Structure 1
Amino acid sequence: MYYIGYDIGSSSIKAALVDGDTNQPVSVVSHPDTEMPIDSPHKGWAEQNPECWWEHVVAATRKLLADQPKAVRDGVAGVGISYQMHGLVLVGNDHKALRPSIIWCDSRAVEPGNEALNHLGASACYTHLLNAPGNFTASKLKWVRDHEPEVYNKIHKMMLPGDFLALRMTGECTTTPSGLSEGIMWDFKEDAPAEFAFDEFGIKEEFIPNIRPTFSSQGQLMASAAEALGVPAGIPVAYRAGDQPNNAMSLGALNPGEIAATGGTSGVVYGIVDRLVFDPKSRVNSFAHVNHTKADPRIGVLLCINGAGSQYRWVRQHVAASGSSYGEMEEQMRSVPMNSDGLRVLPFGNGAERILDNQDVGSHFINLQFNRHSKAHVYRAALEGIAFSFAFGMDILKELGLEVNKIRVGNDNLFQSGVFANTVATLLSTEIELVETTGAVGAAKAVGYTLGHKATLEQAMSGLSIEKTVRPLNVNGQLEHGYQTWKEDLMRLVTA
């Protein structure tokens, strides 16, 4: 018995085949080889064609199963879907998209979200939705209602990207409580769709697809979809969640005090708590985790740092010698002491930062000395600055009562750097486990839990390979001193 998991990103589709008996991946692929296009017809807009996702899901699945024997292809028992969060897909009565999807990084709905916050009231938004409406899915529908009435009047259902892919597979319009929470459409007090806010956003009750649990049969594959994918017809879509909660689940972060982090283009920290918690300053967001129920709450508190890997990539492209690899840069900076001989970097050059009250402060190199600092100093200072921004964000999470018992990260991106990982572990006084897994593998494993082949979700996520454990360094407060100096620089900038 086998399971297929998908991770639907904005740049590519990842697909994984997992053996249900061993609970280990058989194959993991990505498609396409070049990034999927994102259209930006106006400044701040970001759109993708939902049918493009489906075409690449088909191609990725064919690639995944190309070398597998017929017994394996015929043995696929179900599929799971992880997807880019916060996007808006609108379909008509024929189940076809009415317009391109307004995806997560589109900023056109900021003002509609601010209007909704003022009209609904901050107290109602935070106590019921756990968030300000912001630039999330509900606010994007409000924008469509106000600016594209010809589209709005044809809406049959509003969906998240994962909902649309499930529709293409099953022919059924469905969603999940976790998905509605990420779109700021779930009332945590009532444990139901947030009908008190529907009029403000232009959400008609009939726009909401049928709601299914995260771990459930969410429809069976139609014959046409099964033929396109090369898998048996009638197997269920048995799991669906946004990419950040799915990534946390894939890393085994399911219970209070467990933290998952990523260090890609942006940096993300996703921590689990067992109560309804919100940040009245909207520096972080709170969503229903994959295993959340009203009786046994599991809330994922999401912290995002836009200027993470993007800062270090800029340094490699514009400071390092042409063709330099990250490994070569890591080797060169080994001769540079902690705190980079006083050179400090504020890595916030990738747009407004929520953790800085949505200020766009830019990236800054502070105390650069021409006769003292080399390229290697710049490399290390950049990584330390990104690590300091993680510590700054974690201070916010701790302020909200989040405990930090363990941090798990994927064995990729920034956490492959010893300098970066050691700095974060030391500042947070906690171990960091580098785990060899992907979101697509986690989505596939979740199918086994839904189908009852694994007794618990913890069992379904078992078998993780801990590639490395990074422990805090005993450096007598040197890094903490550097962090405090860095934070003073930042505070002068954001309060200027």
Structure 2
Amino acid sequence: MQKEPKQEQERHVIGIDLGTSAVKTVLVNRKGQVAYEASQSYPLHQPKAGYSEQHPEDWVRGTLASLKELVEKAGIGGTDAVDGISFSGQMHGLVLTDKEGQVLRPAILWNDTRTTAQCRRIEEQLGPKLLSIARNRALEGFTLPKLLWVQEHEPDVLARAAHFMLPKDYVRYRLTGQLAMEYSDAAGTLLLDVAQKQWSQEIAAAFELPLSLFPPLVESFDQTGTLLPEIAEQSELSPATKVYAGGADNACGAIGAGILSEGRTMCSIGTSGVVLSYEERKDIDVQGRAHFFNHSEQDAYYIMGVTLAAGYSLTWFKETFAPGLSFDALLEGVSSVEPGSSGLLFTPYIVGERTPHPDATIRGSFIGMDAGHGLVHFTRAVLEGITFSLKESIDILRGTGKTVKEVISIGGGARNEAWLQMQADIFDADIIKLESEQGPALGAAMLAAYGSGWFASLQACAEAFLREAARYSPNPEHVARYESLYELYRVVYPHTRELNGHLAKYR
């Protein structure tokens, strides 16, 4: 009797998204479908006010547990069904290791604010060279201020350090034994010459940092080893599984939203809010008003504006004023309120602001409250205030000569139709919602798919993986109304900045 031909095993890639609260893994097939996903949380430590740290080994344990869960769910343990693995990771966090690869202190994270004095030192030492080389302002979140804080406060630790790494790069190092950092994450250190794609010897020398500390630089889709035997055993994956460098979370979010060609712009509303646009011009000057980073696409860049408390403003509002309601119930009536929330404005500066106002002291406001406003007016005002803040980043993009006619909306802001239409009206652009939106984890998987030779380019991968689900076009009447309201919104910051400076001493 003739045997049935053996069915070829379906091929997959895995994307690992190393977040601040949890690591997420996704198993993706050749059609771009997420077959399975898993996640593992880990603790955040705040030993002092303004400090934010994690233990790098918690990331490794979480990643291995999540990989094992993913493999077991899919029933592919002990097979070679996975062609490649790649990473997305929280940016800027400082990991220091000795020459044996042992971690020397807890990682200092992106949201740690202890480094204000070091930021001022960087500005004084480098002056205009900082923006001309690193292309970004000195902000507490970046890696160089953290290195300088360790240099000043824990000199013995820095003296023992052989390498510094960023979070996902440490996890990849533990999985493969290979040391590397790719350009999209390196751009967030303030140590990279962004246009030349090399470590800045000038910045390193200015702060007496030996270049031996800096990992080798690679492209996001470059292979950086295979799984170590003990890692393969723990995760139940093949030791031959190829591992690719990956990208910064925002770069991977952009890949996962198809922001891979000129004119493509994304709005991501999570805890923070991000407006990000693809850029090919390496000499464009945004004068520090927005971030300018290397993309995970080769020889490309992106301009990015950040609202610190985007979705977080809505979460804070719900938990404070409507804790008994679900988000869906809270947002249910907002479409019945006219644009402008009956004369109520909200500024989402509840934890300070980033773009276009890098200001740690400013705080939020409700302006125009009267006795006729109810919960639904305040809710709509919060949504509008978040979106006005993001429009300030859209305006910076347009100010560089970019045309922004379409914006791909992802994250929490893409889950509510009224908010999607609001984005269309405030941005005066078509808003596109994707059919399946997995964010940075999918972007990481796409890097693995491209690295593994599934597609000739990342753009071809995006065309195969991503599909438009809905489109929201601007309402001309609402656009005009929002333009005048937006001008009022922009006045709130300069009029409350000094007041908030005085109030800061009472916090």
Q: TM-score range by the shorter chain?
A: over 0.9
Q: What do residues 112-138 of structure 1 show as CA deviations (whole Å, max 9, x unaligned)?
A: 12212221221x221221123333112
Matched, 1:472 2:474: yes
What SS does the corresponding residue of 2:36 show, helix, strand or coil?
Answer: strand
Kept in 2, the 8 Å contact 1:145–1:202? The answer is no
Question: In the alignment, which residue of structure 2 is the partner of 1:340?
Answer: 341
What SS does the corresponding residue of 2:73 show, helix, strand or coil?
Answer: coil
Identity percentage of aligned residues: 27
TM-score (norm 2): 0.91
Q: Distance in 1 between matches of 2:393 and 2:377?
A: 24
Equivalent AA in structure 2 for residue 452 of structure 1: G
What SS does the corresponding residue of 2:224 show, helix, strand or coil?
Answer: coil
Q: CA deviation at 1:102?
A: 0.6
Match of 1:151 among 144, 148, 157: 157
Equivalent AA in structure 1 for residue 316 of structure 2: W
Q: Which moved more, 1:200-209 or 1:91-100?
A: 200-209
Q: How does 1:249-328 map to 2 (within 5 A)?
A: 249-276=255-282, 277-280=284-287, 282-293=288-299, 298-320=300-322, 322-328=323-329
Q: CA deviation at 1:262?
A: 1.1
How has the CA–CA distance of structure 1 residues 220 and 201 changed in structure 2, closer, same or farther, with 3 Å as cutoff?
farther
How has the CA–CA distance of structure 1 residues 494 and 18 changed in structure 2, closer, same or farther, with 3 Å as cutoff?
same
Matched, 1:18 2:31: no
Q: What do residues 354-412 of structure 1 show as CA deviations (whole Å, max 9, x unaligned)?
A: 42241532121111111x111111111111111111112222232233431421122x4
Structure 1: any 5+ residue segments left out of the alignment?
none
Equivalent AA in structure 2 for residue 488 of structure 1: V
Q: Distance in 1 between matches of 2:335 and 2:255?
A: 34
Question: In the alignment, which residue of structure 1 is the partner of 2:412?
Answer: 413
Match of 2:105 among 96, 99, 103: 99
Kept in 1, the 8 Å contact 2:95–2:108? The answer is yes
Q: Distance in 2 between matches of 1:494 and 1:81?
A: 39
Match of 2:177 among 139, 162, 171: 171
Question: In the alignment, which residue of structure 2 is the partner of 1:376?
Answer: 376
Q: CA deviation at 1:19?
A: 1.4
Q: CA deviation at 1:464?
A: 1.4
Q: CA deviation at 1:210?
A: 2.2
Question: In the alignment, which residue of structure 1 is the partner of 2:116?
Answer: 110
What SS does the corresponding residue of 1:5 show, helix, strand or coil?
Answer: strand
Kept in 1, the 8 Å contact 2:183–2:295? The answer is no
Question: In the alignment, which residue of structure 2 is the partner of 1:454?
Answer: 455
Matched, 1:29 2:4: no
How has the CA–CA distance of structure 1 residues 158 and 232 changed in structure 2, closer, same or farther, with 3 Å as cutoff?
same
How has the CA–CA distance of structure 1 residues 398 and 96 changed in structure 2, closer, same or farther, with 3 Å as cutoff?
same
Kept in 1, the 8 Å contact 2:68–2:236? The answer is yes
Matched, 1:130 2:150: no
Q: What do residues 406-461 of structure 1 show as CA deviations (whole Å, max 9, x unaligned)?
A: 21122x41232233222221122211111222221221122121122211111222
Equivalent AA in structure 2 for residue 88 of structure 1: L
Matched, 1:385 2:385: yes
Q: Which moved more, 1:6-15 or 1:377-386?
A: 377-386
How has the CA–CA distance of structure 1 residues 466 and 59 changed in structure 2, closer, same or farther, with 3 Å as cutoff?
same
Matched, 1:361 2:368: no
Matched, 1:8 2:18: yes
Kept in 2, the 8 Å contact 1:141–1:202? The answer is no
What SS does the corresponding residue of 2:225 show, helix, strand or coil?
Answer: coil
Q: CA deviation at 1:485?
A: 2.4
Q: What do residues 85-133 of structure 1 show as CA deviations (whole Å, max 9, x unaligned)?
A: 01111111221211110110011223212212221221x2212211233
Question: In the alignment, which residue of structure 2 is the partner of 1:394?
Answer: 394
Kept in 1, the 8 Å contact 2:40–2:66? The answer is yes
Q: CA deviation at 1:80?
A: 0.4
Q: Distance in 1 between matches of 2:366 and 2:393?
A: 20
What SS does the corresponding residue of 1:312 show, helix, strand or coil?
Answer: helix
Equivalent AA in structure 2 for residue 471 of structure 1: S
Q: CA deviation at 1:317?
A: 1.5
Equivalent AA in structure 1 for residue 308 of structure 2: N
Question: In the alignment, which residue of structure 1 is the partner of 2:332?
Answer: 331
Matched, 1:231 2:237: yes
How has the CA–CA distance of structure 1 residues 383 and 189 changed in structure 2, closer, same or farther, with 3 Å as cutoff?
closer
Q: CA deviation at 1:25?
A: 1.7
Q: CA deviation at 1:352?
A: 4.0
Q: Which moved more, 1:2-11 or 1:230-239?
A: 230-239
What SS does the corresponding residue of 2:348 show, helix, strand or coil?
Answer: strand
Equivalent AA in structure 2 for residue 466 of structure 1: E
Q: Distance in 2 between matches of 1:486 and 1:419?
A: 20
Kept in 2, the 8 Å contact 1:142–1:202? The answer is no
Question: In the alignment, which residue of structure 2 is the partner of 1:481?
Answer: 484
Q: Distance in 1 between matches of 2:39 and 2:242?
A: 22
Q: What do residues 10-67 of structure 1 show as CA deviations (whole Å, max 9, x unaligned)?
A: 11111000113x33221122223xxx32111222111000000010001111111112
Structure 2: any 5+ residue segments left out of the alignment?
1-10, 500-507
What SS does the corresponding residue of 1:447 show, helix, strand or coil?
Answer: helix
Equivalent AA in structure 2 for residue 119 of structure 1: Q
How has the CA–CA distance of structure 1 residues 43 and 283 changed in structure 2, closer, same or farther, with 3 Å as cutoff?
farther
Equivalent AA in structure 2 for residue 19 of structure 1: N
Q: Which moved more, 1:448-457 or 1:196-205?
A: 196-205
Q: CA deviation at 1:235?
A: 1.9
Q: CA deviation at 1:273?
A: 1.5
Q: Distance in 2 between matches of 1:485 and 1:252?
A: 34
Q: Distance in 2 between matches of 1:61 and 1:448?
A: 17
Q: CA deviation at 1:71?
A: 7.3
Q: CA deviation at 1:243?
A: 0.1
Q: RMSD over aligned Cα, in angstroms?
A: 1.9
Kept in 2, the 8 Å contact 1:157–1:173? The answer is no
Equivalent AA in structure 1 for residue 313 of structure 2: Q
Kept in 1, the 8 Å contact 2:180–2:245? The answer is no
Q: Distance in 2 between matches of 1:490 and 1:117?
A: 24
How has the CA–CA distance of structure 1 residues 332 and 273 changed in structure 2, closer, same or farther, with 3 Å as cutoff?
same
Q: CA deviation at 1:254?
A: 1.2
Kept in 2, the 8 Å contact 1:29–1:63? The answer is yes
Kept in 1, the 8 Å contact 2:274–2:304? The answer is yes
Q: Distance in 1 between matches of 2:183 and 2:332?
A: 47
Q: CA deviation at 1:275?
A: 1.1
What SS does the corresponding residue of 2:289 show, helix, strand or coil?
Answer: coil
Q: What do residues 227-250 of structure 1 show as CA deviations (whole Å, max 9, x unaligned)?
A: 111100032212311100110011
Q: Distance in 1 between matches of 2:138 and 2:389?
A: 25
